[in-house]
Structure 1
Amino acid sequence: MSRLQEEIKKYQESFKQKVPQDIQELMLKATKKLQEQKLSKNALKVGDKAITFKLKNANYKEICLEEQLKENDFIVLNFYRGQWCPYCNLELQALQSINAQLKALNGKIIAISPQTPDNSLTTKEKNELEFEVLSDEFNKVAKEYGLVFSLDEELRPIYKSFGIDIITANNEDSFKLPMPATFVINKNKEIIYSFVDEDYTKRSEPQTILDIIQKNK
């Protein structure tokens, strides 16, 4: 089992001890509903061309995918829900752990969420991230990548009871979020790896990302 999977499993065991069974069942039911809709089939896949974009980073500087691809052989594009999501934080920390190896392969990580730049900065500082964390206002880019869904209405009061304020985090009240996703994009803007899952507890393996890039060097 990978380190990321171990951390996820550890968190899940702790969550099960703390959260009432009926709430756990509601959360599982909402995930199952998403899986039944097979939303991931609409996401960009291996062989598709990456859609370029310009988004603000945590310091309000505009970052352009096109320019990043001129400077790097590979871009690892990670869509996450927000700094309020423990699974996202575990994944971002796992990506940080391979950041130096990716740089050595002339690769760069770019993480994207619908959060405001200020909340992206919180994410960056909280997880000690050395890569770009961008703000995708109203999920515009996530929509183009086929990732957006609406948080189940039954989950909204549950999240609120956990102290999660998505409206404030994203500065809008649609409750739309991206499915967690990771894409590896090469110099020709071709997607050479795609991981998308309706189940927010499932995340891409950092080692798989490294393997894909090494194979395509």
Structure 2
Amino acid sequence: MTLQTQLNAFKEQFRKQAPEAAFNAFAQSTQDLIATGQAERALGVGATVPEFTLTDVDGNAVTLKDLLDKGPVVMSFYRGVWCPYCNIELKALEAAHHDIKARGATLVAVSMQGAADSRKSKRENKLSFPILTDKAGELANKLGIRWKVQDYVIEFKKMFNVVLPNIHGDGEWHLPMPARYIIDINGKVAYAEVNPDYTQRPEPSDLFPILDQLTNKAE
């Protein structure tokens, strides 16, 4: 079963179970974000990724340079452990992790949540790759994928106990758009997929041809 098939199935289940007003508000939020065109303006293929320092679940600093010293980097931004769509995607990435490593790349996931929630993500989704914290979404902002949740949807987020200012510890209602990047060893974007619609995610196998090209170039 493809990743998108799983996401579609969950969306349909949620539509049947959630209050109609909440489902409609979330759908409208997505449409309004798409209409801004922000995803099209985000960092794209050929751009240089700014150097960054993030922290892992143990509080250790991880820099872009550290990651690139091992080879290309696959970096997946997700909304948080509270997001069922993200958890489905993380499991799909875990299933592809062996094939990603076999192509000489390092896989990391990035969210704005703190270490405790990231540890929960790793535990509940049985992940073998690191989850890094992008505090206040500073890196996401530099990449152009951080956005502010619309006021009209906040009450529905709270209905599901998703209080982002508390989850992120920054007092703001910000989220990263789900995004997946391949960064080559020179720090440039070789692949970019930014999803203003969080219910739509690319298949992990879409990464393989790009990683194969990078491997061939290095040989």
Does the pair score TM above 0.5? yes
SS at match of 1:63: strand
Query: Who is 2:178 aligned against?
Result: 180
* Structure 1 stretches lacking a partner, 5+ long: none
Name the amino acid aligned to 1:75. Answer: V
SS at match of 2:141: helix
Deviation per CA, 1:28-78, whole angstroms, max 9, x where unpaired? 111111111111122110011122211110111111111110112x10011
Distance 2:51 2:202 in 1: 22
SS at match of 1:110: strand
Report matched runs for 1:16-55 at 5 Å: 16-55=15-54
Distance 1:55 1:27 in 2: 29
SS at match of 2:107: strand
SS at match of 2:181: strand
Name the amino acid aligned to 2:85. Answer: Y
In 1, are the aligned partners of 2:164 and 2:174 still within 8 Å (CA)? no
Whether 2:190 is the aligned partner of 1:209: answer no
Deviates more, 1:86-95 or 1:164-173: 164-173
Report matched runs for 1:30-179 at 5 Å: 30-72=29-71, 74-179=72-177
Distance 1:127 1:24 in 2: 25
In 1, are the aligned partners of 2:70 and 2:105 still within 8 Å (CA)? no
- Alignment size in residue pairs: 215
TM-score between the two structures when normalised by the length of structure 2: 0.94
SS at match of 2:69: helix
Distance 1:71 1:13 in 2: 41
Distance 2:61 2:24 in 1: 41
Name the amino acid aligned to 1:109. Answer: L
Distance 2:159 2:21 in 1: 14
Distance 1:53 1:128 in 2: 26
SS at match of 2:75: strand
In 1, are the aligned partners of 2:25 and 2:156 still within 8 Å (CA)? no
Distance 1:124 1:21 in 2: 32
Query: Who is 1:192 aligned against?
Result: 190
In 1, are the aligned partners of 2:81 and 2:117 still within 8 Å (CA)? yes
Distance 1:51 1:120 in 2: 23
* Structure 2 stretches lacking a partner, 5+ long: none
Deviation per CA, 1:73-127, whole angstroms, max 9, x where unpaired? x100111111111111111111111111111111111111111112111111111
SS at match of 2:81: coil
Cα offset, 1:26, TM superposition: 1.7
Distance 2:212 2:70 in 1: 18
Identical columns (%): 29
Name the amino acid aligned to 1:199. Answer: D
